[in-house]
Structure 1
Amino acid sequence: MVAVAQPRFGVWAVVYGSWGPFDHPDDPVNASWERNRRLIVEADRLGFDSTLIAQHVVNPFGDELDQLETWTSAAALAALTERIEIIAAIKPYLVHPVVLAKQALQIQEISGGRFGLNLVNAWYKPELERAGIPFAEHDERYEYGREWISVVRGLLAGERVSFEGRHFQVDGYQLRPAGSAPTVYVGGESDPARALVADKADVWFINGQPKENVAGLIADVAARPRVGAPVRFGLSAFVVARDTDAEAEAELAALWELAEAGKARWEALVADADPKAVMFQTFAKYPHIGTNGGTAAGLVGSYDTVAQRIREWADLGIETFMLQFQPFEAEMRRFAEHVIPRVRLTSSKLELAR
């Protein structure tokens, strides 16, 4: 495990319209393209390094709610931004790997080499089942995803790909133009997910949870056989940062009150999730605000406290922090103004000390 000298900071695009309680008075649910365009263009200007555009076709919190489409939005954001990395999530059952690889290479060209794809193997059953797409058993989805990403990675590398598997048969396929290959991120924490990360991922996205858990996950994947550069690690987290720890805790308590009022939506989502999805088993152990572990990552406190905790995560090996806020835009600006400079200053001092 290698400490990260200079952490990278990303923001989740608001594809659901909100990453915290749905009834926040200063953060009305809004998943529109216009809001996401403004948000990510501003994140680019503020110096954030990445954005993650999660993928759903329908909103898992209720299909009466808007849901941003991932890949068309990724292409548009690639053209509208200058330096931020655009990461688009993909569920393999929704798009054939040859088609997806072509889309990824095109967005990589549009962005000037700032594109990444995030492979997720699906947990929300109605999204597939109501479309007539079978929702396979957990380990079967990872077998399918392994074949899928094997085809995609070869095509992204500019290779002429022939592949004969249980799910895909590809005969001498090659895509052009092909420049630098997009970064491949993989999510999931089950044993099949970890095996897939060790074999095929550039970066592993880990859900927010206590550090001792994450340390064990990182050690497990780092110890697995691998060809090529070591896996890098990312962490999802929901940030509540204020002048003092007490103010941050008071804000977190207010968010919990709002979450309690709207918990029926969360319970309905969990009821429609695959019970074998490890992240939901983890979430049940560590209550949190936000998705993908949210505040369980511990980034709640004063600006100095949050900066110190980020540094501790970086010492553990976390390179990319994919962050959620509420209200998103205002708290994103607060983080950029007060926390990022503190982390950068600490990182610079550590570099000089070395």
Structure 2
Amino acid sequence: MIRIAGPRFGVWTPVYGTWGATTHPEDPFDASWERAKRLVLSAEKLGYDSTLIAQHIVNPYGHEFDILETWTAAAGLASLTSSIEIIAAIKPTLFHPVVLAKQALGIEEISGGRFSINVVNAWYKPELLQSGIPFAEHDERYIYGTEWLTIVRSLLSGEKTSFEGKYFHVDGIELNPKPKTRQRPAIYVGGESEPARDLAAGLGDVWFINGQPLENVERLIRSVAGRKREGVPVRFGLSAFVIARETEEEAQAELAKAWEYAKADQPLNEQLFGHADQKAVMFQTIAKYPAIGTNGGTAAGLVGSYDQVAERIAAFHEIGVELFMLQFQPLESELERFAREVFPRVRSLNPVAL
């Protein structure tokens, strides 16, 4: 059994405008910088440990919708916060590894050592193809991504870096200033395909798993934890959409309302799925476990009474999940509710938590 410190909690920054239904009456669409700033500052004050900023050039639910740019937002949030971890997603095909490493080191400096990157494979075709960027076949993107991350990891560690590969040729470059408070920013890896698992085990620090039932998550953790790896063991994070109430009946009623709101978004979801790489395991999981929210959402089962949600978190933590990256709707009020009602219950189940 994997033994780790108490669970950590994060919140997805609302770059899409919402992580639930676009027509929710208490959560109007708002993908502005001002909202993201307020939300992350509130999360930090409430005691959340991390925030994840997803990355898209255009909003996959519709290009007419706003979407916040990841790396400029990360730099801004790093300068305004003092304790919360800032995790910025990055698709390797969008940035040359040397340029990206330099940007990451800059935000690491701004944050005082609280910055991390989340490497994700591109699955939304239009944002690349319409930009004139080739959309390679799934496994080939991971070959590219492995070369890319090898270079980035070396540069983030302050090493003079040379690399000769299929896609990149780097000749003795070294970036300064180097990290001042630790060896390098942390590296999160997303994706559940076999190449993604290899990448996480070989070059990542934390593997993000999409929300799904406990037994699935345990199987995935064992799959990656058992792979060949140098250095400290890989850690694990889980995405989940939370609906927590005083009683299970109240939570299930809220879930039923969420499904009603979600019906209006069916055309947007069909459009999104139609433009996605069907080899992406995330969409195979979504098809098997329909859920509210993105990246597995309520399929993780964090729907129930406050006590039930805390107990399910404890069960995921017991099998190795360290970081829970959470979504809510309405975002601001549910963020506060979770901190007020679930944080203390998790703490009572695990005295070293929080």
Q: Same fold (TM over 0.5)?
A: yes
Which deviations, in whole Å up to 9, do the C-alpha atoms of 1:48-86 show, x marking residues without a partner?
A: 000000000100000000000000000010010010000
Mark the CA change 1:267 to 1:174 in structure 2 (over 3 Å): closer, same or farther.
same
Give, as a single letter, the amino acid of the residue that structure 2 aligns with 1:267.
E
Match in the other structure for 2:209: 206
Match in the other structure for 2:347: 344
Structure 2 residue runs without a partner (length 5+): none
**Aligned mates of 1:38, 1:5 — CA distance in 2:** 29
Match in the other structure for 1:271: 274
1:288 to 287, 291, 299: 291
Mark the CA change 1:344 to 1:76 in structure 2 (over 3 Å): closer, same or farther.
same
Once superposed, what is the RMSD of the aligned Cα atoms? 0.9
Match in the other structure for 2:315: 312
Residue 94 (structure 1) aligned with residue 94 (structure 2) = yes
Contact 2:6 2:352 in 1 (8 A): no
**Aligned mates of 1:198, 1:249 — CA distance in 2:** 37
How far did 1:285 drift?
0.3
Contact 2:5 2:352 in 1 (8 A): no
Which deviations, in whole Å up to 9, do the C-alpha atoms of 1:9-49 show, x marking residues without a partner?
A: 00000000000011100001110000000000110111000
Task: Give the 5 Å matches for 1:45-124.
Answer: 45-124=45-124
Task: Give the 5 Å matches for 1:1-354.
Answer: 1-179=1-179, 180=182, 181-348=184-351
Local SS of the residue matching 2:334: helix
**Aligned mates of 1:107, 1:201 — CA distance in 2:** 19
Give, as a single letter, the amino acid of the residue that structure 2 aligns with 1:145.
G
Contact 1:5 1:347 in 2 (8 A): no
Contact 2:27 2:330 in 1 (8 A): yes
How far did 1:2 drift?
1.1
How far did 1:4 drift?
3.2
**Aligned mates of 1:229, 1:104 — CA distance in 2:** 22
**Aligned mates of 1:33, 1:219 — CA distance in 2:** 39
**Aligned mates of 2:294, 2:178 — CA distance in 1:** 35
Give, as a single letter, the amino acid of the residue that structure 2 aligns with 1:332.
L
Q: Between the two proteins, what is the percent identity of the paired residues? A: 65
Local SS of the residue matching 2:350: helix
**Aligned mates of 2:72, 2:347 — CA distance in 1:** 33
**Aligned mates of 1:55, 1:144 — CA distance in 2:** 18
How far did 1:349 drift?
8.0
Local SS of the residue matching 2:351: helix
Local SS of the residue matching 1:229: coil
**Aligned mates of 2:235, 2:220 — CA distance in 1:** 12
Bigger mean CA deviation after superposition, 143-152 or 258-267: 258-267
4+ runs deviating over 6 angstroms = none
**Aligned mates of 2:100, 2:29 — CA distance in 1:** 30
TM superposition score normalised by structure 1: 0.98
Local SS of the residue matching 1:167: coil
**What is the number of equivalent residue pairs in this alignment?**
350
Give, as a single letter, the amino acid of the residue that structure 2 aligns with 1:258.
Y
TM superposition score normalised by structure 2: 0.98
